[in-house]
Amino acid sequence: MLPNIIQVSDSRYCVVDGAHLHFLRGVKTTAEVDDFCRRCPQRVDDAGGGSRAVGRLSLFVTKRCNLRCVYCYADAGSETGDASVERACAAIKFIAGSADEVILDYHGGGEPTLRFDFVTETFDYARSLGRPVVVFFITNGTDSSPRVVRWITENVSVLCLSLDGPQEIHDALRPCLGGEGSYQRVVRFVQAMVEANKAFTARATITAANVTRMLEIIKHFKSLGIRRTIFEPCFNHGRTKDINVRPDPRTYAENFMEAFRFAHSEGLVLRTSAFRMPGTDYYCGTASGRNICLTVDGWLSSCYEVVSPTDEAGKDFFIGRIEGQKVYLFEDRVKRLRTLRPALYPSCGTCQYQPLCRGCCPIKNYREAGFAGVSWHLCEVSKALFPPMLEYLCEHPDACYNLWYNVSVESPFSGPSVGCGEARPQVGT
């Protein structure tokens, strides 16, 4: 596989070589770039094959929610229903199978803490299988009761909290079921996590209403003790399928860069799914077969955003079902999803940014443009963000630590090995 070349400016180029991103600075002629690529090892993404297998299962806990976020993709609360503990345990038993370790990902879209007994019962069951269990947990942060706080601080490894900004912004976007704001409740949860020295990521959904306030938001988060943030551009679906709340792509990019410069200067982590570590493989586990999500109704979905049997996308993204103790997998759907690779998208043509967007989010593409289509909006967000971000990283390579968790800066071709014990800049801790 040949390296991909991206021109950043007249004298700067970016070369994507597997999971390596090379910035070439002070380039005088394109022949220099060509020569670099000829010497490049032409690595491919590592697709696994290590010594320890991890089984990962995402669990949707309930359709109920105590908030009515204006943009909720799941339109949570419009339907009722809770997941079955027995069915979840059957799925856990299957996923654990021959795995050396298990990741349980308790997902939002329906608020997991509303059924905390489900969470603890399924976690205890997974642990009873005798393997290490790692918990990912997503919450709206409205429950800061001692029981919930204690369990999360003791058992959750990867915690994500939805918080959209200062009170005025957050309450407008994430009101409670009764219409009152939820900010004060969420801040109590933040305080509990900060006091417990529990690392977490605050996820702010960026809409047309708060897109120009990203710098203000991250400054506010810093004042609350939040060190890790993700600014996720909103998409029209679920509760907003008939109205437009998406941020303008160029405005999103400009304001993200302003906030990112602040994050870099303050040693904060600021991420966006619109700019992920480059690669040549799938955008996410939806197409690679590594997303296995159990919906409340017993479907196995390949995508976190396709969880309702009334969602038309289910006919492509539901890849199986749990019935009793049996796990049914639909082989044709699994194989079809594997075709979702950016190089195969006709509309991507020769776009130089393919190794950066990697085809972008399959379900958002699907909802806007059909199977193997490309979302105009996401594409515009990416194309607006890539040039300034690449330029900034080219100028400040250490800022990669503020954008990604798992990267290192090294010399080309012969850098240091990267491992757990390696010293890293202290950001986001």
Partner 1 sequence: MDVVTLRASFSVSVDAACSSDVVGDDDNCCNYGPAGDSFICGEDCRWIKNIDDYISESSDQLVVLPTAPSS
Q: Strands of 299-301's sheet, edge to edge?
A: 293-294, 299-301, 318-323
Q: Output DSSP code: residue 154.
A: H
Site for partner 1 in 50-79 (CB under 8 A): 50-56
User: Applying CB under 8 A, which of residues 170, 174, 228, 239 lies at the interface with partner 1?
Assistant: 228
Residues 241-260 interacting with partner 1 (rule: CB under 8 A): none
Q: Check residue 85 for interaction with partner 1 (CB under 8 A).
A: no
Q: Please write down the HEC assignment for all residues of 61-78.
A: CECCCCECCCCCCCCCCC
Q: Using the minimum distance from each CB to partner 1, give the nearer residue, 184 or 325.
A: 325
**Residue with smaller CB distance to partner 1, 26 or 346:** 26
At 133 the three-state DSSP class reads strand
Q: Cα(286)–Cα(429) distance, rounded to whole angstroms? A: 30
265 binds partner 1 (CB under 8 A): no
| Shortest reach from residue 51's CB to partner 1, in Å | 5
Candidate list 191, 312, 330, 370; residue touching partner 1; CB under 8 A: 330
Q: Comparing C-alpha atoms, which of 328, 302, 307, 298 is closest to residue 87?
A: 298
Restricting to residues 180-199, which ones interact with partner 1 according to CB under 8 A?
199
Q: Do 308 and 318 touch, CB atoms closer than 8 A?
A: no
Closest CB to partner 1 among residues 145, 429: 429
Piece in contact with partner 1 (CB under 8 A), picked from 77-85, 147-155, 156-164, 180-188? 156-164
Binding flag, residue 42, partner 1 (CB under 8 A): no
What is the DSSP-derived secondary structure letter of residue 110?
Answer: S
CB of 141 to partner 1, least distance (A): 14
**b/e map 181-218, b = 16+ CB within 10 Å:** bbbebbbbbbebbeeeeeebbbbbbbbebbbbbbbebb
Nearest to 292 by CA among 1, 87, 60: 60
CB-based contact 404:271 (threshold 8 Å): yes
47 near partner 1, judged by CB under 8 A: yes
The mark string for 355-394 relative to partner 1 (x by CB under 8 A, - otherwise) is ------x-------------------------------xx
Of these, 243, 343, 344, 409, which contacts partner 1 (CB under 8 A)?
Answer: 409
Of 298 and 428, which CB lies nearer to partner 1 in the complex structure? 428
Is 230 near partner 1 (CB under 8 A)?
yes
Q: How many residues bind partner 1 (CB under 8 A)?
A: 107
Chain length of the chain: 429
Using CB under 8 A, pick the residue from 7, 127, 153, 158 that binds partner 1: 158
Q: How many C-beta atoms surround the C-beta of residue 229 within 10 A?
A: 24
Closest CA to 137 of 192, 234, 61: 61
Q: Which of residues 274-313 bind partner 1 (CB under 8 A)?
A: 276-279, 281-292, 304
**Smallest distance from the beta carbon of 185 to partner 1, in angstroms?**
21
**Residue from the set 63, 174, 203, 246 that interacts with partner 1 by CB under 8 A:** 203
CA 67 – CA 410 distance, rounded (Å): 45
Task: Determine, following the binding rule CB under 8 A, whether residue 101 of this chain makes contact with partner 1.
Answer: yes
Exposed / middle / buried, residue 277 (Cβ in 10 Å: 0-12, 13-18, 19+)? middle
Least distance in Å: CB of 180 to partner 1?
A: 26
Closest CA to 378 of 367, 387, 388, 389: 367
d(CA 405, CA 396): 16
Query: Which CB, 122 or 178, lies closer to partner 1?
Result: 122
